[in-house]
C-alpha cells in the first residue's frame, strides 16, 4: 500500500487543472502559438507556464509595443494577435494598441489580468484597481470577462470569433486574478474548451449586388480601382490580380495595399494619383474606406469645386461591413461580402468586359511617365548633407533587391516620402502608421513582422517616430531578430530648425542635435551605424541584410529637410494660417 499512495496522489493531481492551464489550453487548441506581452501580477505565471507549454512568449519593455506587435500579427496572419498585460497601468498601456486594432480592422485580443471584482466594484482601493472591462468596451469591437474557470473556453472562443468574423477588430478579454488559481476537474476542464469552427466564415455577396457593380464598370469610360488594406488582409491576392488584369482598369493602392500587385505594374496609377482621382468616372473601392485618407470621397481631390463638393464619381464599394457604404458619399453599388468571395463572383460575371478606353489609359500613362521622370531627377541628386530623397533612393534599391523583406514605416515626411519613393513588390510587405497616422508602431511591428514571417525586416523611421518605441531595440537584440532600423534623423519632429522666439528652452519640435541613436542598439549588442552619405547608408543596409543582425542605422539628413506635418499640412491649423 505504502508504495501505491504517491501514485494515487500524482493521479489525483493530474486529474485537476486550473485557470492558468485552461487559458493556455484554450489558446493552443485554437492554433494560437505566440503571445506578445509584459509579465507582472497577476499574469507572471501565465507567461511562464505558457512558455513551458510551447507557446512563444515575447516579452516587451512597454505594453504599447507588445500591443502593436499583436495587432499587426493579426493583420499578417488572419489569426488574432494576443497581447497579455497586467492590470490597470499595464492594461491602459495596451489599450492604445487595442483601439488601433479596432480602428484599422486588425484582429487582436488584449488579455489583461485584473483585480478582485468585489473590491473593484465597491471601490475599496485594491492593488491596481480599475474597472477595465468598462474602459475597454468603447474602444474594442467586443469585450468579455471570465469569472469562473469553467467559462474560460467560452470566453476565449467568443473573443476569437469577435476578433475575426465580419470586419476584424480588437477584442478585450478580462481575466481577474482569482480566476487563474481556481481549480477544476481536468476532464471537465477539457470538456469546457471550444475549438472555434470557421471563425471568419465566408460571406458570399448577393448576385444582384455583383451585377449592379459590373453594370457600372461596363458603363465606365474612366474607371479606377482603389485597393485598401482590407484587400491586403483578405489574402485574396490571386483573385485581385486577376480582376485588375482581366479588366485592364488602372488601380491605386492605399499605403498598406502597396505590393498587392507590384508597384511597378503597368496598371499601377500611384504616380498619377492627383490626376486619376478627380478624373475617374467610376471608382471601385476594394477593402478601402472613404475616410480622410481618401479625402472622404469629395472635395478638390476628387474634382469637386469646393472643399465639400462631390466630384461626380460613381462608387462601387467591396467591403465586409454592410454599414460602411454611404459613410461619406453615396455608394452606387455596394458589394457586401468577404473580398475573396466578392472578387471571385465579379470575375465569374465579368464576361467580355472591354478594356477601358485608350485615351484614359494613355492620359494616365503620360502623367505617370512625366512624374516618374521628375522624381528620378530628384533622386539622382547627391546633396550634402543627405536629404530624404538621396537617402530613400538607397532604401528603394535595397528593397528592390530584397522584395521578400518586410517593410515598416513611420514618421511624417519619413512616411510620406518613403511611401511614394520605395516600391513594394509583394503583398503585405508594407506595414505602417495606418488609419490614425499614429507614431509608435515601429519597433512593435518590427518584432511581430520578424517573428511571424521569419523574413528580414527593414524599418524606415523618422527620428521622432522612432522615439515612441525606441527602447524595444533591446527586445530586437534579446531575440536576435533580423531587423534593420533606418532612422532618417533630421534632429526633430518634422525637421530640426524651429526656434523658440523667447529664447530659453528649445522649440517643442526640436531634439538634441546629431543624436547618436545607433549607440542605443550597440548598448544591447546589436550593430550601430552612423551614416552621413548614401554610400554609408547603402553599406550599412547591405551588411545588415547579409548578417541578419539587429542593426540600427542613424542616417543623418539635412535638418532643414521636411515640411510641417509632411503631406497633411492642410490639417494643421497653425501651419494653414501661415
Ligand atoms: P485603407 O486605409 O488601406 O484605405 P481601410 O482600413 O480604410 O483601408 O479599409 C479597410 C476596409 O476593409 C474596412 O472597411 C474593412 O471592413 C474591410 N475589410 C477588412 N477585411 C475584409 C475582408 N476580408 N473582406 C472584405 N472587406 C474587408
Ligand atoms: C501617438 C503627431 C505626427 S508625425 C510626428 C508626430 C509627433 C513625428 C514626425 O517627425 P519624425 O518624421 O518622425 O521625425 P519627419 O520625417 O517628419 O521628421 N503622437 C502620436 N501620433 C502622432 N501622429 C503624433 C503624436 C505626429
Cell of 493: 519632429
pLDDT tens string 352-362? 899 999 999 99
- Which residue owns the Cα nearest ligand 1 atom 23? 234
pLDDT at 10: 54
The yes-or-no verdict on residue 54 having pLDDT over 80 is yes
- Which residue owns the Cα nearest ligand 2 atom 1? 439
Provide the β-strand partners of residue 175. 113
pLDDT tens string 305-314? 998 999 999 9
pLDDT band at residue 565 using 50, 70 and 90 as cut-offs: confident
Question: Does ligand 2 lie within 6 Å of residue 486's CB atom?
Answer: no
pLDDT at 12: 54
Cell of 223: 474607371
Instruction: Determine the Cα–Cα distance for residues 172 and 229; give it in Å rounded to an integer.
Output: 23
| Phi and psi at residue 223, to the nearest 5° | -75, 155
| Phi and psi at residue 464, to the nearest 5° | -70, -50
Poorest-confidence range of 7-21, 79-93, 253-267? Answer: 7-21
| 3-class DSSP assignment, residue 473 | helix
Best residue for ligand 1 mutational test, from 105, 259, 294, 322 (most atoms within 8 Å of Cβ): 105
Helices (H) and strands (E) in the chain, counts: 24, 19
| 3-class DSSP assignment, residue 16 | strand
Instruction: Determine the Cα–Cα distance for residues 298 and 250; give it in Å rounded to an integer.
Output: 20
- Average pLDDT across the chain, whole number: 96
Cell of 573: 491649423
The yes-or-no verdict on residue 4 having pLDDT over 60 is no
Cell of 163: 476578433
Question: What is the DSSP pairing of strand 406-410 with strand 430-432?
Answer: parallel
Q: What residues contact residue 125 under an 8 Å CB cut-off, 6+ apart?
A: 119
The yes-or-no verdict on residue 1 having pLDDT over 50 is no
- Compute CA distances 483 → 42, 382, 421, 439, 460, whole Å: 32, 27, 21, 19, 11
Place of cell 485581385: 240
pLDDT band at residue 456 using 50, 70 and 90 as cut-offs: very high
pLDDT at 573: 81
Instruction: Determine the Cα–Cα distance for residues 367 and 25; give it in Å rounded to an integer.
Output: 57
Q: What separation in Å is there between the alpha carbon of 169 and the centre of ligand 2?
A: 25
Q: What residues contact residue 119 under an 8 Å CB cut-off, 6+ apart?
A: 125, 126, 129
pLDDT at 6: 53
For 389-393, what is the mean pLDDT? 98
Contact 225, 250 (CB under 8 A): yes
The whole model's pTM is what? 0.97
**Would you give the end-to-end CA distance of the chain in angstroms?**
91
Question: Does ligand 2 lie within 6 Å of residue 170's CB atom?
Answer: no
pLDDT tens string 459-500? 999 999 999 999 999 999 999 999 999 999 999 999 999 999
Q: What separation in Å is there between the alpha carbon of 494 and the centre of ligand 2?
A: 7
Q: Over pLDDT 70: what percentage of the chain? A: 97
**Ligand 2 atom with minimal separation from the 412 CA:** 17
The yes-or-no verdict on residue 575 having pLDDT over 90 is no
pLDDT at 395: 98
pLDDT at 564: 86
pLDDT band at residue 562 using 50, 70 and 90 as cut-offs: confident
Q: What separation in Å is there between the alpha carbon of 106 and the centre of ligand 1?
A: 9
Amino acid at each position: 500500500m505504502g508504495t501505491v499512495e504517491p501514485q494515487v496522489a500524482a493521479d489525483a493531481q493530474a486529474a485537476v487543472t486550473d485557470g492558468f492551464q485552461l487559458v493556455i489550453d484554450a489558446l493552443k487548441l485554437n492554433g494560437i502559438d505566440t503571445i506578445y506581452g509584459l509579465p507582472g501580477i497577476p499574469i507572471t505565471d501565465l507567461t511562464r507556464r505558457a512558455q513551458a507549454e510551447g507557446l512563444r512568449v515575447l516579452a516587451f519593455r512597454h505594453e504599447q509595443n507588445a500591443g502593436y506587435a499583436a495587432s499587426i500579427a493579426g493583420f499578417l496572419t488572419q489569426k488574432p494577435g494576443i497581447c497579455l498585460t497586467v492590470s490597470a497601468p499595464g492594461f491602459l498601456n495596451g489599450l492604445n494598441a487595442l483601439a488601433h486594432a479596432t480602428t484599422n480592422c486588425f484582429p487582436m485580443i488584449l488579455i489583461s489580468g485584473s483585480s478582485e471584482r468585489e473590491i473593484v466594484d465597491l471601490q475599496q482601493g485594491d492593488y491596481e484597481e480599475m474597472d477595465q472591462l468598462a474602459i475597454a468596451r468603447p474602444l474594442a469591437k467586443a469585450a468579455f470577462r471570465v469569472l469562473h474557470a469553467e467559462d474560460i473556453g467560452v470566453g476565449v472562443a467568443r473573443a476569437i470569433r469577435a476578433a475575426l468574423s465580419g470586419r476584424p477588430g480588437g477584442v478585450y478579454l478580462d481575466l481577474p486574478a482569482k480566476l487563474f488559481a481556481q481549480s477544476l476537474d481536468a476532464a471537465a476542464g477539457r470538456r469546457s474548451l471550444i475549438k472555434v469552427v470557421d471563425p471568419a466564415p465566408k460571406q458570399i455577396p448577393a448576385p444582384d449586388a455583383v451585377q449592379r457593380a459590373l453594370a457600372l464598370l461596363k458603363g465606365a469610360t474612366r474607371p479606377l480601382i482603389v485597393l485598401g488594406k482590407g484587400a491586403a488582409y483578405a489574402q485574396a491576392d490571386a483573385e485581385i490580380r486577376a480582376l485588375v488584369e482581366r479588366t485592364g482598369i488602372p488601380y491605386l493602392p492605399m499605403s498598406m495595399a502597396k505590393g498587392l500587385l507590384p508597384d511597378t505594374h503597368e496598371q499601377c496609377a500611384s504616380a498619377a494619383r492627383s490626376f486619376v482621382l478627380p478624373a475617374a468616372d467610376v471608382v471601385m473601392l476594394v477593402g478601402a474606406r472613404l475616410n480622410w485618407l481618401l479625402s472622404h470621397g469629395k472635395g478638390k481631390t476628387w474634382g469637386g469645386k469646393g472643399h465639400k463638393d462631390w466630384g461626380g464619381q460613381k462608387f462601387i464599394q467591396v467591403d465586409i461591413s454592410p454599414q460602411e457604404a454611404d459613410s461619406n458619399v453615396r455608394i452606387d453599388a455596394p458589394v457586401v461580402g468577404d473580398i475573396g468571395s466578392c472578387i471571385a463572383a465579379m470575375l465569374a460575371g465579368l464576361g467580355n468586359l472591354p478594356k477601358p478606353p485608350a485615351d484614359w489609359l494613355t492620359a494616365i500613362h503620360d502623367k505617370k511617365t512625366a512624374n516618374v521622370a521628375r522624381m528620378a531627377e530628384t533622386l539622382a541628386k547627391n546633396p550634402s548633407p543627405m536629404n530624404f530623397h538621396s537617402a530613400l533612393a538607397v532604401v528603394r534599391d535595397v528593397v528592390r533587391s530584397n522584395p521578400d523583406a518586410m517593410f515598416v514605416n513611420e514618421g511624417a515626411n519619413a512616411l510620406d516620402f518613403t511611401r511614394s519613393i520605395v516600391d513594394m513588390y509583394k503583398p503585405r510587405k508594407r506595414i505602417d502608421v495606418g488609419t490614425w497616422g499614429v507614431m509608435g508602431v515601429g519597433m512593435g511591428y518590427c518584432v511581430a513582422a520578424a517573428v511571424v514571417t521569419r523574413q528580414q525586416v527593414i524599418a524606415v523611421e523618422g527620428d521622432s517616430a522612432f522615439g515612441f518605441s525606441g527602447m524595444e531595440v533591446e527586445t530586437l537584440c534579446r531575440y536576435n531578430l533580423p531587423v534593420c532600423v533606418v532612422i532618417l534623423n533630421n534632429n526633430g519632429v518634422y525637421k530640426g530648425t524651429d526656434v523658440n522666439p523667447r529664447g530659453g528652452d528649445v522649440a517643442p519640435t526640436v531634439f538634441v542635435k546629431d543624436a547618436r541613436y545607433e549607440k542605443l542598439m550597440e548598448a544591447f549588442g546589436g550593430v550601430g551605424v552612423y551614416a552621413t552619405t548614401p554610400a554609408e547608408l547603402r553599406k550599412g543596409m547591405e551588411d545588415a541584410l547579409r548578417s541578419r543582425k539587429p542593426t540600427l542605422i542613424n542616417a543623418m539628413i539635412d535638418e532643414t529637410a521636411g515640411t510641417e506635418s509632411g503631406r497633411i499640412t492642410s490639417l494643421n491649423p497653425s501651419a494653414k494660417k501661415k
